[in-house]
Structure 1
Amino acid sequence: MLNQKNKSQHLATISLAVMAIGFLSTLPIRDSLWGIILQGGFEAGLVGGLADWFAVTALFRHPLGIPIPHTALLPKNRKRIVAGIISMLENDWLTKESIRKKIETINFSKRLFEIIDKEIYSKSVQKNIIILIQHLINTVNTKSIAPIIEKELKSQLNKLDSKNYLPLMIDQISERKYDEKTLDYILKEINEWAEKDSTKYKLGGLAVDAVENIKADGFMQFALKSFSNLVNEEKLGNIIQGLILKGVDSYRNPFNQNRQTLMIHIRNKLQSIKSDEKIYDELNQLKTHLITKWEPEEQIVSLLDQLKQKASDFVENPSFSEDYLLPIIINGLGHIKEDSEKVVAFETWIKQHVSSFIDKNHSRIGKLVEENLERLDDKTLINMVETNVGKDLQWIRVNGAVCGFLIGLVLVGIKAFL
């Protein structure tokens, strides 16, 4: 660009020099007709070239350093020119309305999907996504999240109403015959306890003490005394032990009438619990008490740390990108593309945010231009303008000289003819 500027300046200077040399060279032959005509042409070309040189130079600086009025227009009117440029940008070229209209013609979602489809298979992009995922995993503060999870967990548990679950539990007890299994277990434990010799002697001793402590008068006291002399702890223990074992054995028989009656009674009691409000109140109070006393924060932190470590190890796996990351992204994009409503909503969301950004920052366009121009001193700004438009300005000088020469020829020719 600078070379073009220098070439244009040289060409303009050469054209001016040609006119000056031509004017001087025609002085000796000015008495002839052609001398008069050529001298008039070169004279007019010299005047035109000088006039245009003065005009072009006056735009940027004082010609020959002389502070002639209405010269050095750019330095003197810098602020006004900058304000005009800013006003033109904001109000004519880059108005909010024109930018919005341009935004409306752009299909952001389509271009974004095209970029993702093209770049998603790039190893560098996949690596950066994995780095981002790892960074997000590592930035998770489990200690700060644990209280939130604990609060939410307790809140959800408090919402559980025993009326919704206790009837189901009771029905499952009957369907799975847990009541019979419980009775069989109790009978088994009683049977094992009753079969022990220590149990036999304990029961016999308790029976003897009970007989001896019975208070009676007359014949009844004589009868009890005689009975106590006939039996001892072992005999009474054997009798009671046998009765218990026999009773337990009879209840263990599924066809025993007493067992069946007992089971009916148990099941009726279980069914009656379903409508017992006191039991529900007790269960809810117990639940609330247990939840209040429960402090699972340490367990939650430990669990989150384990999950965090497993997630980090999983992401670092070499097969994660091809086996999991790519399929997830591709399938997700595919579902979004197929859903026209989501695409339209996404496109609308993007354009709304872009328009909002433009509304908030439109005034900064002018400020940005102003700030950049203010960083330039007058000399740098003039050199920049001359470098970019100097070629055309120098051609004004060339054209001035050439046009002046041609017009001079015509005018002198007309004058000579007349």
Structure 2
Amino acid sequence: MASGPQPQPESAALLVAPPFASDRAEEAARRRLRRNRRLATGLLAGMGVVFVGTHLAEAPGFAVLLLRSGAEAGIVGGVADWFAVTALFRRPLGLPIPHTAIIPNSKDRIARTLGRFIERNFLTEEILLRKLADGQVGQRFAAWLAAPGAPVIAGLVAGALPGLIRSLEDHDLQDFANRTLGEQLRRADLAPILGRVVELATASGEADILFERAIGIGVGWLEENRNQIDRLVEARSRWWVPKTVDRRIAAAIVSAIADLLGDLRQPDSEARLKFREALTGLIEELLRSPARRDQINASKNRILDSPEVQAWLASIWGQLSRTALQDLADPASKTRAALEHGIALVGRALAADDAMQAHVDAVVRRLAVQLVAWRRKLGGFVAEVVRGWDTRTLTDRLELVVGSDLQYIRMNGTIVGALVGCAIFLMSRLFG
């Protein structure tokens, strides 16, 4: 004999009860279930009234007997279907009848079947890859990202940033970050990194461009500050030296520096060649000289250990975090607008790049293949989740979903039963 559903602890029910879509949807489902249940019960009761009424007739004729037969068969059909529908969810009239309360007593079997069904019919490589190929994930993602997706993602990021920023202000977290990052930075060998950066900049020509721009800035500064240089020379000259001589000295200094800078701007000049040699020597020292490496790393560690530098970095972070929080609290947040604009730009660029869309499709396919490899565990996870649901709540939710439609089975059973009863009565009269 099957046992009834065992009540779960209230705390467990709160944790494992499967949620309904929303309170409004749940209330609408309950109203629909109550309405259809009343209709089915009312139809069955009507058949009972007809059956009793026809028996009260003193001299029943053909019509009365026909109605009595239809009502009798309708009652049988309605009661049978009521029993069948009720037995799915609970024990009819609370009686311990075998093979009733099917869903509560079969929850574990339903869980295992659902897990296997998902594993074998959804999480297969053939099905997933075919759906992904038909879905054009990269193209659709780009289109979504360019239009409706940008505000959505920007809103999510902007909504999460204040909490993230405030969490980073926690002293314990800051101490942990300072210890962890500080230790990693102290262990880092900065000299080879600087050497590679300078080497790459030199090989690509960026160092020459930067150098020429710096020289151009220096020449312009000299031209703009000639009078200031004259005053500096005059202030440091002897009192007995004529001012005309001071001005000539200042002009000679400016001219000499300008000539030197002009020579440095010429790609094939001797000064420029010496600069390149010095840069090559610096790269060699950064990459291979232990003494230079120790010197740079020692300087780096002194900077990291300096209280003034740490206080300066902390003040910068504090100012940036306050500014960011104020901006994110503004309905017209510049940060949110910048995020939305940047995401939309990425979406439009992706929408115009077939190669990147193909790359997105390839990444999604690889993820799908990895998902297939985990299908047994995923199916087991689904089964475990369903098995952990509260039995009473699960039954109630399932009845809300399909119970109102099952009431039509009761109605149809009552009506069909009545029609069959009438047909049997007519055939018995016709062939009797």
TM-score (norm. length: structure 2): 0.53
| Matches of 2:82 and 2:340, distance apart in 1 | 67
Q: Is this contact kept in 1: 2:154–2:339, CA < 8 A?
A: no
Question: 2:77 aligned to 41, 48, 69, which one?
Answer: 48
Instruction: Tell me the equivalent position of 1:143.
Output: 182
Instruction: Tell me the equivalent position of 2:191.
Output: 153
Report the 3-state secondary structure (helix = DSSP H, G, I; strand = E; otherwise coil) of the residue aligned with 1:51: helix
| Structure 2 residues without counterparts, runs of 5 or longer | 1-28, 200-276, 278-284, 328-332
Q: Is this contact kept in 1: 2:186–2:301, CA < 8 A?
A: no
- Deviations for 1:153-191, whole angstroms, at most 9, x for unmatched residues? 167669999xxxxxxxxxxxxxxxxxxxxxxxxxxxxxx
Instruction: Tell me the equivalent position of 1:82.
Output: 111
Q: Is this contact kept in 1: 2:144–2:347, CA < 8 A?
A: no
Instruction: Tell me the equivalent position of 1:349.
Output: 363
Instruction: Tell me the equivalent position of 2:405.
Output: 392
- 2:299 is aligned with 1:296: yes
| Matches of 1:339 and 1:389, distance apart in 2 | 47
- 2:130 is aligned with 1:101: yes
| Matches of 2:88 and 2:34, distance apart in 1 | 18
Q: Is this contact kept in 2: 1:59–1:71, CA < 8 A?
A: yes
Question: 1:401 aligned to 395, 414, 420, which one?
Answer: 414
Report the 3-state secondary structure (helix = DSSP H, G, I; strand = E; otherwise coil) of the residue aligned with 1:26: helix
- Deviations for 1:193-249, whole angstroms, at most 9, x for unmatched residues? xxxxxxxxxxxxxxxxxxxxxxxxxxxxxxxxxxxxxxxxxxxxxxxxxxxxxxxxx
Question: 2:62 aligned to 24, 30, 33, which one?
Answer: 33
- Deviations for 1:30-57, whole angstroms, at most 9, x for unmatched residues? 6422222222111111222222222223
Instruction: Tell me the equivalent position of 1:112.
Output: 145
| Matches of 1:53 and 1:323, distance apart in 2 | 60
| Cα distance change on mapping 1:29 and 1:49 into 2, 3 Å | farther
Q: Partner amino acid for 2:71?
A: F
| Matches of 2:36 and 2:191, distance apart in 1 | 81
| Matches of 1:349 and 1:38, distance apart in 2 | 70
How far did 1:20 drift? 1.5
- 2:396 is aligned with 1:383: yes
Report the 3-state secondary structure (helix = DSSP H, G, I; strand = E; otherwise coil) of the residue aligned with 1:147: helix
Give % identity: 26
What value does the CA root-mean-square deviation take over the aligned residues?
Answer: 4.7
Instruction: Tell me the equivalent position of 1:20.
Output: 48
How far did 1:97 drift? 4.0
How far did 1:290 drift? 5.6
Report the 3-state secondary structure (helix = DSSP H, G, I; strand = E; otherwise coil) of the residue aligned with 1:68: coil
How far did 1:381 drift? 3.0
How far did 1:109 drift? 4.1
Q: Is this contact kept in 2: 1:59–1:73, CA < 8 A?
A: yes
Higher alpha-carbon deviation: 290-299 or 9-18: 290-299
Q: Is this contact kept in 2: 1:134–1:312, CA < 8 A?
A: no
Instruction: Tell me the equivalent position of 2:424.
Output: 411
How many residue pairs are counted as aligned between the two chains? 294
How far did 1:337 drift? 6.0
| Matches of 2:122 and 2:195, distance apart in 1 | 63
Report the 3-state secondary structure (helix = DSSP H, G, I; strand = E; otherwise coil) of the residue aligned with 2:85: helix
| Cα distance change on mapping 1:326 and 1:307 into 2, 3 Å | farther
Give 1 or 2 for the bigger CA radius of gyration.
1
| Cα distance change on mapping 1:134 and 1:93 into 2, 3 Å | closer
| Matches of 2:351 and 2:165, distance apart in 1 | 24
| Cα distance change on mapping 1:352 and 1:309 into 2, 3 Å | farther
| Matches of 1:121 and 1:158, distance apart in 2 | 37
Q: Is this contact kept in 1: 2:107–2:387, CA < 8 A?
A: no
TM-score (norm. length: structure 1): 0.54
Aligned pairs (5 A) from 1:192-271: none
Q: Is this contact kept in 2: 1:89–1:95, CA < 8 A?
A: no
| Matches of 1:323 and 1:387, distance apart in 2 | 44
| Matches of 2:108 and 2:94, distance apart in 1 | 22
How far did 1:369 drift? 4.7
